[in-house]
Chain A
């Protein structure tokens, strides 16, 4: 990975926590493209853009995207085959 500007999901953890009501970077996901199972915190983040794009650190395909408009958040998690979350 040659891009020095890329961040990771830690950089958008605040926006995700505000949306979900809990810490999302600790949540485990399975990449829908390559099957990699890892914490959301490992996703590479492109935060400078019309929206935020989170990509698998292994295959670089899109796992999560979100757009914050004036008052709404549009969330696309099609790139995650599942999110594995602890209850309680």
Chain B
């Protein structure tokens, strides 16, 4: 049996802005152990009076980076933990974490594909870990990422995703921007719906391993849609992030 899960004190070694509301925080972990793409860390904050707040954040980095993980965190305006990360945390600060956690919403290359990844907003984080893992593996199965964001500047990892897709004909990106689109935009401009799911399914080829992550309502609509389109329920894995920010 692996060692029991315990809390440890990590140190923030880097902070990188991904979008205006989203940043990635690199945490050096004294008790690091290799994670699987899709897993998360629990983060716990403690105030001087003992008050505590705890949230889970998906690991963005691939397990090949030893000793540290990247957590990509969206700033939720009335949140308790994410504003602390964005407004207070500096390089050198210490944060109490527990992980890596997760045994259901995980993918590794040996599980095969094709992969159909559906993301709403910051739900793309664990799916990005999967795509980074996939890129590092040779001969990986085809993958489709269907991703929803409000505006172009809210698309997390936009440049890296474009570079991955440009270098890999087996990776297809389908993007929808639901609030505002730039001039000349050729992607979708509405919430994920049945025709978009059907296109993503067709692009995936065979019935895929599907991973859906993001706001609860988006996840449920997409999961139901895929099942209605014939994907076996056991091949549709979901991770709900709660209300839309």
Which residues of A does B touch, CB under 8 Å? 1, 3-11, 13-14, 17-18, 21-27, 38-42
Interface residues of B in 55-112 (CB under 8 A from A): 56, 98-99, 101-106
State whether B244 touches A8 (Cβ < 8 A). Answer: no
Give, as a whole number of angstroms, the nearest-CB distance from B192 to chain A.
Answer: 15
State whether A14 touches B99 (Cβ < 8 A). Answer: yes
Can you list 11 A-B pairs with a CB-CB distance of less than 8 A?
A: A1-B220, A4-B217, A6-B216, A7-B242, A10-B40, A10-B104, A10-B105, A13-B40, A13-B102, A18-B98, A38-B233
State whether A22 touches B240 (Cβ < 8 A). Answer: no
State whether A18 touches B4 (Cβ < 8 A). Answer: yes
List B contacts of A10 (CB < 8 A).
40, 56, 102, 104-105, 239-240
A25 and B242 in contact, given A4-B217, A41-B237 (Cβ under 8 angstroms): no
A6 and B240 in contact, given A14-B99, A23-B103 (Cβ under 8 angstroms): yes
List A contacts of B40 (CB < 8 A).
10, 13
Judged by a CB distance under 8 angstroms, whether B238 is at the interface is: yes
Q: How many residues of B contact A (CB 8 A)?
A: 30
State whether A14 touches B56 (Cβ < 8 A). Answer: yes
Give, as a whole number of angstroms, the nearest-CB distance from B59 to chain A.
Answer: 13
Which residues of B does A touch, CB under 8 Å? 1-2, 4-6, 40, 42, 56, 98-99, 101-106, 215-217, 220, 233-234, 237-244
A26 and B244 in contact, given A1-B220, A5-B216, A42-B238 (Cβ under 8 angstroms): no
CB < 8 Å neighbour of B2 from A22, A39, A41: A22
